[in-house]
Amino acid sequence: MLQQLSIQNYATVDTLEIEFKAGMSVISGETGAGKSIMLGGLGLTLGDRADKGIVRTGAKKADICAAFDISNIPAAQKWLSENDLEEESDSGSCLLRRVVNADGRSKGYINGSPVTMASLKSLGEMLLDIHSQHEHQSLLHRATHQRLLDDFCVSAKHLAAMQTTYKQWQKNAQLINQLSNRSQEDSAQTQLLSYQLTELDELGIAVDEVPKLEAEFKSLNHADETVASVQSALTLCGGDDEKNATAAMHQALTALNELPEKNARVISIIELLESASIQLDEAVSDLRAFSDEFEANPERLEQVNTRLGLLHAIARKHKVKPNELAQVIADLRQQLNLIENSDAELEKLEAADKQLRIDYIKVAGEISKQRKKGSSKLTKQVNEQLKQLGMPHASLEVQLLASDKDKPAANGLEVVEFLVSTNPGQAAKPLIKIASGGELSRISLAIQVITAQTSHIPSLVFDEVDVGIGGGVAKVVGQLLRHLAERTQILCVTHQAPVAGQGHHHFFVSKFTKAGSTLTQITELSETEIVREVARMLGGEDLSDESLAHAEQMVASN
């Protein structure tokens, strides 16, 4: 439940700190005193939109903190744990904070850690629910009807399962659509890729074929020059002429070896010449072998030239270099495999679609049963409340309109709509067509009170929901809220004395002027002060003995 609210520099509030207790807390005050300021600040801690206009004039920022006891709220504890935002001390408390700068920018915090507004909203929905005097306007929308009925009778577990399955089904359907559309495009792409691969495969291009062919082409293209040069080198190094290099080398070695006395340097020279002689002999041998094996081959030159021409032409067609053709073949084959595998992927998605449809209809069907059963119960209870609220002939009817099973919907297999009849014999019609403003307000209040009884939220706020009613009806409203406060914390902003008289606690909102500024303050009233405030609400500022006695009777009857 809400334990404490601290507000600084918000609207007309300078500094405000309120401690709340279990039961029903009434908040009253003079018109224009700012009774809803407290709820506005509370809403900011729950992620409501903020603007720079809320910062008190002359202040740099507004700072609002709300402390909650979550020791009996497992869902909130789990959420905090999953988001690593739990309080370090195991006190069971949780602190929500909102800071709004004068330029309109704001920051949110949970237990001191900065968070997004979405996080504040997600957690806030588990802690507190605000019912405002304007909420009856939302009853004109079917979406509100669906939410109220589901809150009243549908298992949260089933709702979560349906929404999860719906999202999965939708995502799977999108993938099927994308893949199906792509399949039409891929059909033409498959033909192109197959043609390109067939053309390349027929060429039988080997890895590193192009550089090898280019080297061979250069060699064959210069065959005559090669033969002449090799023959000339062979003649110079080891020909029949006694003046060739080999003969000269042997003669030099013979001359040096015949020296009668050889010093170290001469011996070194002899060793070098012997090594050179060996290498020269090997070179001559290789030259002879090359000369015997190599010959000009015009036919082979033509073959290599033709092959290179084909490879260069196909490379230009694919806008790559000839030595990159092997990679082109690999890439095309990979693309073709991916497209061919898409058929298998589409089959998997279509199988998943069938299973998700079964899962969705199963859980949505269970929710439909809960809605059908719950709608009868809600109708009965709301109609009983309407009688107590001065509408004895009014009758609410919950209509469940079946939706298309083949089209997944986030809200299930039916659309919920509230219909109402306000006079005997009158057919039930949509609220927007039949209910007046006053009637709609009371219908909204009846629904809110009934649905709140099944709410899992530990703190409920009713902000002037009793507008437009009075007398005995107002007393009934007060009794309903007090009864509701036996199981959940109730904060009620009201201007009705019969409602205020039902509170367990009472806070009074007032305004005063300080240093030229109008400021708002909230004070918890004592028992005596509660009686005087209820009397003021009954008869104005001039308290009479009669109004005080009447007020005392109202408060004492609780």
Q: Going from the first residue of the chain to its last (558 residues), give the mean pLDDT of each consecutive group of 10, the final group possibly shorter.
A: 93 89 91 76 90 87 94 88 80 90 92 93 87 65 85 90 92 84 67 84 84 79 67 74 77 83 85 87 81 68 80 87 86 77 82 93 94 94 88 90 79 91 85 70 78 78 76 84 88 90 92 80 91 87 80 79
Count of CB atoms situated within 10 Å of the CB of 237: 18
Stated as kind and residue range, the H or E segment containing 268 is helix 264-293
Token pair 């609780």 is found at 558
Burial class (CB within 10 angstroms; exposed 0-12, middle 13-18, buried 19+) of 272: exposed
| Whether the Cβ atoms of residue 75 and residue 81 lie closer than 8 Å to each other | no
Q: How many CA atoms lie within 13 A of 234 on its CB side?
A: 15
pLDDT at 219: 73
pLDDT at 185: 61
**Distance between CA atoms of residues 238 and 116, nearest Å:** 91
Stated as kind and residue range, the H or E segment containing 308 is helix 298-317
Helix, coil or strand: residue 455: coil
pLDDT at 241: 65
pLDDT at 379: 94
> What's the predicted TM-score (pTM) here?
0.60
Token pair 């330029």 is found at 103
At residue 71, what are phi and psi to the nearest 5 degrees?
Answer: -60, -25
pLDDT at 352: 93
Count of CB atoms situated within 10 Å of the CB of 512: 11
